[in-house]
């Protein structure tokens, strides 16, 4: 069976379970006057034989919705519980009824066959800690409820005909809580009926709580301790060939360390998408083994995988592994030994830098690890606050870093001063390629700064690095630039091109590209997205936006989409 067809059949089976759950909830609601709707839904039988009145169908329906949801997440224990429930249901129908409810049995058999034939797909483990807690909670709560039920029923024996001794109370408690049968108690008063219904409700709440804990999937969510960040830094400096590599050390990332080779990747979860910042950080020869670890973990946890802004280093390997590959944009790169301000293509930069020079602006490097300058850092924060106000308070992350002044590590800081000694702007550079290359990551200036401030900072910094033997300078990604110039390009590439050309109110792609273009990069290096399953879907698009704007996604995007619609 093809994987896509199998997946659709599994989803169809879960829809059937959801309909059964809705039916169980419906029959407990006071809308029986809708005869046609009642008769239609009544034809879908519950896989668990219960009373069709009161609170029990509601609780049963909620439990089945939880099972269906965890089946959708491919949790192994949910699969096991549902298979057992379906076998019990089919056996119950065939053994109990003289006339078999054929529609109910066929639905049960259909769902059971789908689950049995695709058992390998339900491989996501439950969290061992919560499983142990849930099992303990089940036994403890059931014992307490059962004890309380026996004592309570004995004290209420005057309202219950069938109870005369403590043994009768214990036997009736078991029957009440296991079989959920209140009719056999022979209640004479309202107190006994209320008490028995309350016990059943409490018991089901315990069952629901235990089920939630039992079906909680295993989630790799490590605490990024100081030791883990130190290890990540060492690996980044050793294997970080992607300009995005150093962003792994930002606080918005989680780490997936390999257990087999020397390597890790920095990621965030966006829905069910395991979203990786840049390439895997490891030796190229170990790439296949590490990718297998990542895909195996994501398969067990029901995650899709998305690598954002990867280089050519692993694209062939990812393609061989069945990942979809789409171009995401190009990096503006400078081979420093060949870079200078000669020629017409850098005329605007040359003019801007000459203007800054005439204003008496100087560029210096701040080295916080050698000597802290609190006044200087206060000015950096002041510029950042002004920049944030101009941006509407929205600061993107994941693929963009912060100042990192609390823990500078290997960052380099260059800033511009006016003749009066006021800081006018600054740029934070991140290392990659074992310190042979630097990315201009954070670029900020005062709104009152004269023309050429950022241009002079970047150029002077690149020239100093060139003297030190640094090979590459990098001004970062032009997202969605030059995605495809072919007429027969794929649909997703056409969508990306449309976004680049028409959605600059949301994010000014073209202005960002032209700001980099005027520097005259010596190289435009392609960057890609890699994703599994290999069909680019909306959840991947959502993940790209969500990891970069976790708090302000809809606040930022929706108003601009409405502007586009009116246009």
Can you tell me the distance from the alpha carbon of 45 to that of 41, in angstroms, rounded to the nearest whole number? 8
What is the tens place of the pLDDT at every residue in 389-434? 887 666 778 888 889 999 999 999 999 999 998 999 999 999 999 9
Residue 411 is predicted with a pLDDT of 96
Residues 548/396, Cβ–Cβ less than 8 Å: yes
The answer to whether residues 57 and 41 touch, using CB atoms and an 8 Å cutoff, is no
* Cα(44)–Cα(19) distance, integer angstroms: 8
Average pLDDT over residues 360-377: 94
pLDDT of residue 66: 77
What pLDDT is recorded for position 195? 64
Which is it for the CA torsion 414, 416, 421, 422, positive or negative? negative
CATH no., domain 332-479: 3.40.630.30
Helix/strand/coil for 385: helix
pLDDT greater at residue 179 or residue 433: 433
pLDDT of residue 96: 63
Lowest-confidence pick of 313-317, 461-465, 507-511, 529-533: 507-511
Query: In the prediction, which pLDDT does 498 show?
Result: 82
3-state secondary structure of 193: helix
Q: Which two tokens stand for residue 528?
A: 């890609």
Q: What is the pLDDT of residues 526-567, one digit of tens each?
A: 999 999 998 898 889 889 988 887 666 555 554 554 444 444
User: What angle, rounded to 10 degrees, do the helices at 35-42 and 3-26 form?
Assistant: 130
Kind of pairing between the strands at 273-277 and 304-310: parallel
Contact present, 169 and 163 (Cβ < 8 Å):
yes
452 with 354: CB under 8 angstroms?
yes
Q: What is the DSSP string of 504-539?
A: TTTS-HHHHHHHHHTT--SEEEEEEEEEESSS--HH
For residue 48, the model assigns a pLDDT of: 43
**The tokens of 323 are what?**
């990942």
- CB contact at 8 A, 498 and 483: no
**Quick one: tokens of 40?**
């239609």
How confident is the model at residue 53, as a pLDDT?
Answer: 43
Tokens of 209: 């709580």
pLDDT at 167: 66
Task: Give start and end residues of each alpha helix (H) in 221-359.
Answer: 226-239, 287-301, 315-320, 347-358
35: left (phi over 0), alpha (psi -120 to 50) or beta: alpha
Find out whether the peptide bond into 387 is cis, omega within 30 degrees of 0.
Answer: no
> Which segments within 393-454 are labelled E, that is strand?
412-417, 423-432, 437-445
Provide mean pLDDT across the span 336-342. 92
What mean pLDDT do residues 457-477 have?
95
**What residues have CB less than 8 Å from 276, skipping those under 6 apart?**
265, 266, 267, 294, 305, 306, 307, 308
For the chain, give every domain's residue range.
3-121, 128-214, 332-479
31 or 70, higher pLDDT? 70
pLDDT score of 130 more than 60: no
The per-residue DSSP string of 331-379 comes to: EEEEEGGG--S-SGGGHHHHHHHHHHHHTT-EEEEE-TTT---HHHHHH
Q: What is the pLDDT of residue 379?
A: 95
Q: Is the dihedral of CA 316, 318, 324, 326 positive or negative?
A: negative
Give me 160's structure tokens: 């219950």
The rounded mean pLDDT for the chain is 79
By mean pLDDT, which of 12-16, 118-122, 161-165, 252-256 is the weakest?
161-165
| Torsion angle of the four alpha carbons 71, 72, 76, 82, in this order, in degrees rounded to the nearest 10 | 10
pLDDT for residue 373 is more than 80: yes
Q: What is the pLDDT of residues 287-297, one digit of tens each?
A: 999 999 999 88
At 564 the pLDDT is: 44
Q: Which residue has the tokens 């680049």?
A: 500
Residue 547 CB coordination number (10 Å): 25
- In this prediction, residue 75 has a pLDDT band, given cuts at 50, 70 and 90, of confident
How confident is the model at residue 176, as a pLDDT?
62
3-state helix, strand, coil in the chain (%, to 5): 55, 15, 30
Structure tokens at 167: 């043994």
For position 69, what pLDDT does the model report?
80
DSSP code for 386 = H
Inform me whether the pLDDT recorded for 483 exceeds 90. no
Q: Which two tokens stand for residue 230?
A: 């130190």
How many other CB atoms are found less than 10 A from the CB of residue 129? 11
For residue range 38-59, list pLDDT tens digits in order. Answer: 454 444 444 444 444 455 566 6
**Which stretch, 33-37, 117-121, 125-129, 406-410, has highest mean pLDDT?**
406-410
Question: Sorting pLDDT into bands at 50, 70 and 90, what band is 190?
Answer: low
Q: In the structure, what pLDDT confidence band is assigned to residue 82 with cuts at 50, 70 and 90?
A: confident
Give, in order, the Cα–Cα distances in Å from 153 to each of 54, 143, 495: 20, 15, 68
Angle at 121 between CA 116 and CA 126, to 5 degrees: 100
**For range 79-98, the mean pLDDT:** 77
CA 546 – CA 564 distance, rounded (Å): 20
Question: What separation, in Å, do the N-terminal and C-terminal C-alpha atoms of the chain show?
Answer: 46
Greater model confidence, 398 or 188 = 398
- At residue 25 the predicted structure's pLDDT band, cuts being 50, 70 and 90, is confident
Q: Tell whether the model's pLDDT for residue 361 goes beyond 80.
A: yes
Q: Of 450, 432, 453, which Cα lies nearest the Cα of 441?
A: 432
pLDDT confidence of residue 522:
94
Which residues, at least 6 apart from 292, have a Cβ–Cβ distance to it below 8 Å? none
Greater pLDDT, 549 or 378: 378
Residue 423's pLDDT is 95
Assigned token pair, 203: 């018991």
Q: Checking phi first, is residue 334 left (phi over 0); if not, alpha (psi -120 to 50) or beta?
A: beta
More confident residue, 468 or 272: 468
With H, G, I as helix, E, B as strand and everything else as coil, classify residue 411: coil
pTM of the model: 0.67
């Amino acid at each position: 069976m093809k994987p896509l067809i199998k997946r659709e059949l599994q989803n169809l089976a879960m829809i059937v379970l959801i309909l059964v759950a809705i039916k169980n909830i419906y029959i407990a609601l006071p809308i029986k006057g809708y005869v046609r709707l009642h008769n239609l839904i009544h034809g879908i039988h519950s896989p668990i034989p219960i009373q069709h009145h009161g609170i029990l169908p509601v609780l049963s329906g909620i439990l089945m919705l939880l099972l269906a949801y965890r089946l959708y997440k491919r949790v192994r224990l949910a699969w096991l519980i549902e298979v057992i429930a379906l076998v019990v249901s089919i056996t119950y129908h065939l053994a109990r009824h003289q006339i078999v409810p054929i529609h109910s049995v066929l639905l049960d058999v259909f769902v059971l066959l789908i689950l049995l034939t695709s058992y390998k797909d339900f491989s996501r483990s439950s969290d061992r800690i919560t499983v142990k807690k849930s099992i303990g909670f089940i036994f403890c709560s059931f014992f307490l409820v059962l004890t309380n039920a026996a004592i309570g029923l004995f004290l209420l024996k005057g309202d219950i005909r069938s109870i005369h001794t403590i043994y009768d109370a214990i036997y009736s408690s078991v029957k009440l809580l296991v079989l959920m049968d209140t009719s056999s108690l022979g209640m004479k008063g309202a107190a006994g009926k209320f008490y028995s219904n309350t016990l059943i409700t409490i018991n089901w709440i315990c069952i629901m709580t235990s089920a939630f804990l039992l079906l909680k999937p295993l989630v790799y969510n490590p605490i990024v301790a100081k030791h883990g960040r130190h290890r990540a830094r060492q690996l980044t400096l050793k294997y970080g060939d992607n300009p995005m590599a150093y962003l792994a050390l930002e606080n918005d990332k989680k780490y997936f360390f390999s257990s087999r080779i020397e390597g890790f990747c920095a990621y965030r979860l966006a829905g069910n998408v395991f979203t990786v910042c840049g390439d895997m950080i490891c030796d190229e020869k170990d790439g296949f083994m590490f990718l297998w670890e990542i895909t195996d973990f994501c398969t067990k946890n029901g995650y899709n995988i998305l690598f954002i802004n990867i280089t050519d280093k692993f694209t062939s390997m990812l393609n061989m592994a069945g990942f979809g590959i789409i171009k995401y944009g190009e990096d503006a790169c400078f081979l420093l030994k060949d870079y200078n301000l000669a020629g017409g293509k850098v005329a605007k930069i040359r003019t801007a830098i000459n203007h800054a020079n005439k204003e008496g602006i100087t560029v210096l490097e701040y080295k916080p690890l050698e000597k802290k300058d609190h006044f200087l850092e206060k000015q950096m924060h002041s510029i950042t606050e002004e920049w944030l106000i101009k941006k509407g308070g929205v600061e993107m992350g994941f693929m963009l870093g912060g100042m990192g002044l609390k823990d500078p590590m290997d960052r380099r800081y260059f800033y511009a001063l006016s003749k009066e000694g006021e800081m006018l702007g600054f740029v934070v550079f991140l290392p990659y390629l074992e310190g042979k290359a630097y990315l201009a990551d954070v670029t900020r200036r005062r709104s009152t700064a004269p023309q050429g401030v950022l241009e002079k900072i970047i150029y002077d910094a690149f020239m100093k690095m060139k003297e030190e033997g640094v090979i590459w300078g990098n001004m970062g990604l032009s997202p969605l630039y030059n995605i495809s110039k072919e007429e027969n390009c794929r649909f997703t590439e056409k969508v990306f091109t449309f976004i680049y050309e028409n959605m600059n109110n949301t994010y000014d792609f073209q202005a960002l590209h032209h700001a980099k273009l005027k520097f005259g990069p010596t190289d435009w290096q392609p960057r890609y997205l890699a994703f599994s399953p290999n069909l680019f879907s909306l959840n991947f698009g959502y993940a790209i936006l969500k990891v970069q704007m976790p708090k302000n996604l809809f606040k930022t995007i929706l108003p601009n989409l409405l502007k586009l619609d009116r246009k």
